[in-house]
Amino acid sequence: MASGTVMTTGKTVGSVSVLEQLLPGKVAVVNNPVGPSGGGWAQATIFLSVSTTSKYKDEAKRFIKWFITDKEAGKVLGTTRGIPINDEIYKELEPNLQPTDKIGKALLDVALGKALPFYPAPPGWEDFVKTYTSEMDAVRFNKETLDQAYEKIVAKGKETEAKLSKK
């Protein structure tokens, strides 16, 4: 994208700021095409959890609550791991954010209205995504044609579907 040979690329809220740094003022955000019921996720960049078997459940819960609600903790973390999940923390940070930080929020705002509820990815999804990513990279770097990549991606999709159908 920075070389001017790619018009669009998929990026997360936490990583879109890198493109803004490479191309100041030239990056805009849009949502992926979605159907009538929406598409994609608007998920947190950081997932925190507490094991049900932890000896320190109460302490862990207090830490997580502090981590996402404390204004000073929010200032220290900033937007280094994406947009804070707590709107009050983001509002505290916003006046001092650079354009590279604000573009992540713009991407989140575009995605939120069309995002599906979070659900775990189905078995085989990660293999499909790896194939898709490596094939698109091969096209970007002129290692194969778009048609060749398309054939491999379709084949991987059918392979994944067949595996899931057997279960």
Mean pLDDT of 76-100: 88
Query: What confidence score (pLDDT) does residue 155 get?
Result: 96
Instruction: List all residues 6 or more positions away from 10 whose beta carbon is below 8 Å from its beta carbon.
Output: 32
Tens of pLDDT, residue by residue over 117-158, are 877 778 888 999 999 999 999 998 999 999 999 999 999 999
167 confidence band (pLDDT: 50, 70, 90): low
> Is-contact 50 68, C-beta < 8 A?
no
Compute the distance between CA of residue 41 and CA of residue 116 in angstroms, rounded to an integer.
Answer: 5
Q: Where are the domains of the chain?
A: 1-117, 120-167
Q: How confident is the model at residue 2 (pLDDT cuts 50, 70, 90)?
A: confident
Task: Give residue 100's pLDDT.
Answer: 82
One-letter amino acid at 87 equals: D
| Tokens coding 125 | 């999804």
- Give yes or no for a contact between 74 and 84, defined as CB atoms under 8 angstroms apart: yes
Separation between Cα atoms, residue 32 and residue 41, nearest integer Å: 11
Tens digits of per-residue pLDDT, 40-83? 777 766 778 899 999 999 999 999 999 989 999 999 988 877 78
